[in-house]
Amino acid sequence: MAVVSTSLASQLTNPNSVVSTQFTGLRRSFLKLESSVSTQLSFFQQVDSHLRLSSSRCGSRGVVAMAASGKFFVGGNWKCNGTKESITKLVSDLNSATLEPDVDVVVAPPFVYIDQVKSSLTDRIELSAQNCWVGKGGAFTGEISAEQLKDLGCQWVILGHSERRHVIGEKDEFIGKKAAYALSEGLGVIACIGELLEEREAGKTFEVCYQQLKAFADSLPSWKNVVVAYEPVWAIGTGKVASPQQAQEVHVAVRGWLKKNVSEEVADKTRIIYGGSVNGGNCAELAKQEDIDGFLVGGASLKGPEFATIINSVTAKKVAA
């Protein structure tokens, strides 16, 4: 299946293109093109060339066998939501759902409900934490260690989520060290990256994502149990979602960065999933993109039937083949 890489330069020269009113993959288009077409055209020609080069470097990848596990990956981040009662209902819905077999499924409850979920959730779905401390436990009030998560039965942890970066104030290097320690303790890491709205509008999407990736790469001993989650911050919880083409082009660029700066093997095997207002209505079109290897889902993961629909969107990827 050919990699989807829409020519941004050609879109700018097409008066009927949606680029005149919507986001492109790197920056918002400008309505007053007449005074700056040549400058913008040069920029987008360079970007388009980069994307096509990244696409060609990636080669043809298996449609469902996208990584060493050969599986699509869907994570549900419940964030700071839920009560014992509502989580009991959600777990019941997930236990009764019919899920496609060739998908790795993970849910991340709030810390206080991890044990409840672990004791009642089907073994078909793995358990993740939403964060962990940078090292061994001790006198760190309010923190949770990787060892404690393992003791509770967690297999994964989400690190670098935008709310940790931009609300709590965690820095790239600190997040990278947390990821390295979590891996050393046997947890898989869902490593989140993504740009703010103003960074996208300024044409810094790639720069920001590469910087965040580098912080992981500088610390990680291995990428074997790492899933990269691209989550544009402007799309998280806003109802806005990157178009399939916008998401695809960033995923291609991320894979290209991994190939150039880590290894071709890591680039080929690392699953790169998309997050940002994913729901039952848009997941199928997103899933069709070759370099979208799954999803990290927020609000929609709190609704069992809708989350099941997102998990089963892997069928759209099979059809796209």
Which residues form the catalytic set?
161, 231
- Cα gap 287→48, rounded to integer Å: 22
User: Who contacts 317 (Cβ-Cβ below 8 Å, separation ≥6)?
Assistant: 63, 64, 72, 287, 288
**16 contacts 10 by C-beta, under 8 angstroms:** no
Which residues are bridge partners to 74 per DSSP? 105, 295
User: Who contacts 231 (Cβ-Cβ below 8 Å, separation ≥6)?
Assistant: 161, 162, 192, 193, 194, 274, 275, 276, 296
- Cα gap 158→148, rounded to integer Å: 15
- DSSP-derived secondary structure for 220-287: -S--TTEEEEE--GGGSSSS----HHHHHHHHHHHHHHHHHHT-HHHHHH--EEE-SS--TTTHHHHH
